[in-house]
Chains A and B, each alone.
Chain A
């Protein structure tokens, strides 16, 4: 099966587009998948913004995930819900796109992205510009047939060390082949940055579970991510080391740092914000 626009595509329809300025669209989360984590909701907003940026630059460049100053995780979504996506582009040029965006489901805010930056790369190195032009026309017209995504791939995190309640380390083995590589991207497979961040957030959640409960009957939940930086592409088959470290632990909130290394090189980092459950 051709996995292009199926295995890792999270925009089904574009309702309005002003290239380089703003865009509105939607994505129907398939029924029957186990979950749809916040990192993929963020990916959906980023993909929507990318369409506006690519259209503005006549499909000569496309953005990739790079920076996110702040991502607020406002509520969870369920398979079967439709994400209403919106992105506002602050600037777009051959070097980068700067944007913010939101996702809602059934009128409830799900995620808010602020001050995101996607570095631009030559589009034809990664995909076919003509195929993307046709795809944009489809999304603006009848829309894509939903249901291509078959669920979040599982990447076992092999715990490798840490200090209980203070840090956790794990090894992530990027698969050598997976359906999403055919979609991200057809001409150059790259491990999606949002799947890497999802693995980082899983480790952060595991560390959060080791912290003393904020209060009786309460637990720590992920409420936001800030200072996200993705420094390098990860090709198939890489072995990565992920670490989550506790920065600050107060009754009203806690912050962690998550970092991914390939050998000695840091290839991604972010700060994770925890809050007691029920407190926004």
Chain B
């Protein structure tokens, strides 16, 4: 599912509610939940927090968010073998990842990157885009009024 045409305006449209939801999940002040904050490195999120955040976002935005699909979507048309080479992101996969996660500050992408390290890149903005993609998907499949 492409996200290259998600605008900054769209992201900022959902950001306040995403930030408030994340602050509730993480037990932090909403002021700490900045758009480019890394969930793991800046906000201290653990795996249970990712689950909590996704389920809360689903309830807040009334969308279904497929879990564990970000890496699959970032891969695009690259096969798993072309993307993941012995647990390390391939050169082609790395470029695809940077393009898909274009909300992540460029300096955070360090090559070579282990596939298991990809979640460390995820920012609040990553989840804003996730919500927007699911809203678009829901709108595309909704029956005509």
Chain A residues proximal to chain B, CB less than 8 Å? 66-67, 69, 93, 95-96, 98, 115, 117, 119, 227, 229-231, 269
Contacts and interface: CB of A to CB of B under 8 A. Distances in A.
B42 interface: no
A273 B106 CA distance: 44
Count class of interface residues, chain B: 10 to 19
B84 interface: no
Contacts of B46: 231
Nearest to A265: B46
B48 interface: yes
Given A119-B51, A231-B46, 18 more contacts: A67-B51, A67-B52, A67-B55, A93-B67, A95-B51, A95-B67, A96-B51, A98-B55, A115-B55, A115-B59, A117-B52, A119-B47, A227-B24, A227-B27, A229-B48, A229-B49, A231-B48, A269-B27
B44 to A, nearest CB: 10
A229 B56 CA distance: 13
B86 interface: no
A93 B65 CA distance: 13
B82 to A, nearest CB: 24
Contacts of B49: 229
Interface in B32-85: 46-49, 51-52, 55-56, 59, 67-68
A95 B68 CA distance: 9
Given A227-B24, A231-B46, A269-B27, A117 B51 contact: yes
A117 B67 contact: no
A22 to B, nearest CB: 19
Interface centre among B48, B56, B68 (most CB of A within 10 A): B48
Contacts of B68: 95
7 contacts: A67-B48, A67-B55, A93-B67, A96-B67, A117-B51, A119-B48, A229-B49
Contacts of A115: 55, 59
A231 B44 CA distance: 12
A263 to B, nearest CB: 15
B48 A66 contact: yes
Closest 7 CB pairs of A and B: A95-B67, A67-B52, A231-B48, A96-B51, A117-B55, A117-B51, A66-B48
